[in-house]
Structure 1
């Protein structure tokens, strides 16, 4: 067992699912998509299988069983190892307790908003607001589906609530900033070219 923590955030989701019950990667993908977690990280068949293989190689999880339905190929069902479960819980505790720096591209770009000029910056922010509004609506639909159609307990989809809250906070800031630019109340550098 290696105590080295996986770099891929998908590993957190896989380890979290395996707290609920042992499962094979196909079931993991279905559960993650059903809960809308595929919006939190890149989820492809390849990335999921790579993550599962790495977790198994490093001793965080192991094969518990194989499952075969009809003529389909047998699927390996994975579960936590005793050590892997404890390391996961310790890792999760640390992540929840201690804010760590995250580096979203948008945060970097906002620092240079003035380079776009007033009109272009306002248009860009309004376009982002429209995209955020659509993403919020999509997230609400996925959340309702997970809760109502799939019967997922709130705790199992609480990350979707957090994601929605972050999107709503971003939307509020983007709309307010676009309005300030349009009304001329946001101080703007004289050297910027208006596009």
Structure 2
């Protein structure tokens, strides 16, 4: 099986849509756009179709049918293979604990619901250790700078990063509590949104 860590964030999100059911590329693209996932990854038609072709070539998805409506071009429908499902989970497990790839972390967080609650808690625990260490390093650096009477204008970026790390820790600790005390529905206990499954039939962009 291809190395899941080499998947692009777009590839992960396309694979994740197929966990909801078989779809053709246009439908996947429309679904991601309707959910405003263009906040996380660029959603361009050419790149999307190229990525889907690569996922099929790598044995992560498979063609299950071709249909045509009126004079529209044929649409190939794809299904998610077990290797594709495993690849999504492996990628999320690899990226969710990280703090040095913010854009990938956002995608991993968006797809974290594909993992069991206990797995997510454990991964976030690992991430917390990195956040705490990084915050301590920034605070120590600021303390040393003050001792050396370094002008504050040279330290504003470090101050900002320390504040962001502090806020990130507070947010993650709140998420952790809601996962561990069960107040956040998750996985099989989570909400079902069948209305999010399909998008309206519109003329392809």
TM-score, scaled relative to structure 1: 0.50
TM-score, scaled relative to structure 2: 0.48
Q: Which has the higher contact order (CA 8 A, sep 6+)?
A: 1
